[in-house]
Amino acid sequence: MPAEVIVVTDTDDAGDRIRDAVGRHFGCTVLRPGDDFVEEDGTFALVVDMSLDVQASVAYLRTLRARCPAGTQVLIVMRTDDRRGRVQAQSVGGTLFLHPQIEPPAVAGRLLQLATARADGVDERMRAAILGAQGACAALANIFEAASAGTRIDQQMVEAGTRAVLEAIGQGGIANWLDAVRAYDDRIYQHSLMVAGLAAAFGTTLGFGPADRLRLTRAALVHDVGKAKIPISILRKAGRLEPYEVSIIRTHASLGHEMLKDAGVSDPAMLDVARSHHERLDGSGYPEGLRGDEIGDFVRLVSVCDVYAALVAPRPPRPSYDIPSALAELSREAEAGRLEGAIVAMFARTFAPDPRPEIAPGPGPR
């Protein structure tokens, strides 16, 4: 396959990880500074993950860039996210700057976004997922900005975001959706988009009708809206939270419930999911320590999507889980009595090559 993407790195492990993620979608070649390079017409992006303090490496990169087709994008994985680093990146022709801790799947997601501008850059299913994610993220940003400012959440934005998710899942499928949303650096937006897409796909697996599937997806999209009021320093903190930080972040469930009520939301599914998606069947969850039948059906469904989405995204220093590992962890949670085993088992079918709907009545919120 032609080298559509060239990764230039001074670290073997980092280059291999980026190649593995990007290679799922594009022809990809990894070069170290000084390696010979065969010019190819199909190259549309360079991903640079190397020190820009080494003069010989910078000279190599400039030569390589000059030999690539006109319009080739240059994505720089920043070593330091400061003014000096940005000046260095601009000096070598960087067109997109990626933060130092970016994970390889997010690099692949950014490349997928860039590829949509090319007539033959991605197939139509992936294009649908990328464009749907862009629309849903724009709506989600509006929702979170309103929530953060203390102004009324626009329910039309919630509806627009929900329908963007449903259409993208219908046209692009869940695998493409998850790849597309990994391009978003903001952890909260990325997670909310993942949970919404998983809920939309899960609703299909369960055989839900359009109305219940819409309600499930809508509730999932705004399940974490209360985090708009949590300090960014806590939300973006890498590693283990301090006890007082855990106490603060746990307020997001009640805060989100109140925000949605204040916005005039009347759908019990949205309200219940926002407040109770961290409740667990054994009573170990929060904010109320509900157990068993006190937890409604929509909440049980979104909780499984929520846990899965958290597992497949990296949470430094923990790397992301792959699909089998994440599903195995869900099964362990079910065996421990925290999640519903039947729901976990059906959720796993969402990732089958051709998931057949589980014929079951749509749940009513309780």
Q: What DSSP designation does 69 have?
A: P
pLDDT for the residue 121: 76
Report the 10 Å Cβ neighbour count for 291: 15
CATH topology of domain 5-115: Rossmann fold (3.40.50)
Q: What is the spatial distance between Cα 208 and Cα 342, in angstroms, rounded to a whole number?
A: 16
pTM of the model: 0.85
Q: How many CB atoms lie within 10 A of CB 36?
A: 5
Q: What is the three-class DSSP state of 249?
A: helix
Burial (CB < 10 A; 0-12, 13-18, 19+), residue 331, is middle
Superfamily of domain 124-351: Hypothetical protein af1432 (1.10.3210.10)
- What lies within 8 Å, CB to CB, of 36 at 6+ separation is none
Q: Where are the domains of the chain?
A: 5-115, 124-351
For the stretch 68-91, pLDDT in tens is 998 999 999 999 888 899 999 999
Closest by Cα among 222, 221, 263, 214 to 362? 214
Domains 5-115 and 124-351 share a fold: no
Please name every residue paired with 46 in a beta bridge, in sequence order, or none if there are none. 6, 74
pLDDT digits (tens, 9 = 90+) for 279-314: 999 999 999 999 999 999 999 999 999 999 999 998
Q: What is the pLDDT of residues 210-233, one digit of tens each?
A: 999 999 999 999 999 999 999 999
Which residues does 360 contact at the CB level (< 8 Å), separation at least 6? 206, 207
What tens digit of pLDDT does each residue of 1-47 get?
Answer: 678 999 999 998 889 999 999 999 999 999 999 999 887 788 999 99
pLDDT of residue 354: 47
